[in-house]
Amino acid sequence: MKRQYLPGIFAMAAVVVASNILVQHLLGQWLTWGALTYPVAFLVTDVMNRVHGPRAARHVVFAGFLVGIACSLIGSQIHGEFGPLVTLRVAIGSGSAFLAAQLMDITVFDRLRQGRWWRAPLASTLVGASLDTVIFFTISFAAAFNAMEPGNMPLWAQETLPLLGAGPDAPLWVSLAVADWMVKLSLAVLALVPFRLIVQRLMALPAKIN
């Protein structure tokens, strides 16, 4: 593995660990603090993709995936008020969502890398983040997957409530997913600023990023 990949790997590992810790703490009614840190993973992937190419980005993603597995194993051994902090469903949902979304991000970015500097990171993050939200929340909380772990059915997440407290009735997990998705989309736009600055610094091309 090339030495220049290490900063990206360390950054991705830090994001994954921080998100696994902060997801345990609520931020309002629909979010956790982890919703603010996890989208940084797309920024890390996109910077690596732009500076070092898709192969480097995949190395970083697989390193983050392994760190995520380790976090899930540790969390499964820690019991809170309602059982283990990380159930099998959540672990599978989290790992599947991370890997699928990040690899999709890399693919979309690579296909758009010759366009305007902002197009590839914005489009890839929007697609990847949307895929991440769908996979994670569906596998982790939807009633259709209750048979996956009968001893830890997330019935609390399947309770029917108005969407985000004001819309049509829907399972609670749908409101959580929509709120999470909205945060990811907002941060995808905001992340364009640090993306441009970091890439300019690393590539030493202040006038143009292609």
pLDDT tens digits along 58-93: 999 999 999 999 999 998 888 766 667 789 999 999
How buried is residue 110: exposed, middle or buried, by Cβ count under 10 Å (0-12/13-18/19+)?
middle
Q: How far is CA 119 from CA 42, 53, 113, 122, in A?
A: 14, 16, 8, 5
In a domain, 208, yes or no: no
Say yes or no to pLDDT of 165 above 80.
yes
Do residues 97 and 131 lie in contact, with contact meaning Cβ atoms separated by under 8 Å? yes
**pLDDT, mean of residues 100-125:** 97
Domain count, the chain: 1
Greater pLDDT, 147 or 208? 147
Q: What pTM did the predictor assign?
A: 0.92
In a domain, 128, yes or no: yes
**pLDDT, mean of residues 147-171:** 93
Query: pLDDT value at position 80?
Result: 65
Q: Which residues are paired to 161 by β-bridges?
A: 170
Specify the CATH number for the domain of residue 186: 1.10.1760.20
In a domain, 45, yes or no: yes
In a domain, 191, yes or no: yes
In a domain, 156, yes or no: yes
Whole-number Å distance between alpha carbons of 17 and 120: 26
In a domain, 32, yes or no: yes
Average pLDDT, the chain: 92
% pLDDT > 90, the chain: 82
Q: Whole domain around residue 120: which residue ranges?
A: 3-203
b/e map 178-201, b = 16+ CB within 10 Å: bbbbebbeebbeebbeebeebbee
Contacts of 4 (CB under 8 A, 6+ apart): 52, 56
Give the tokens for residue 9: 């790997």
Q: What is the pLDDT of residues 121-150, one digit of tens each?
A: 999 999 999 999 999 999 999 999 999 999
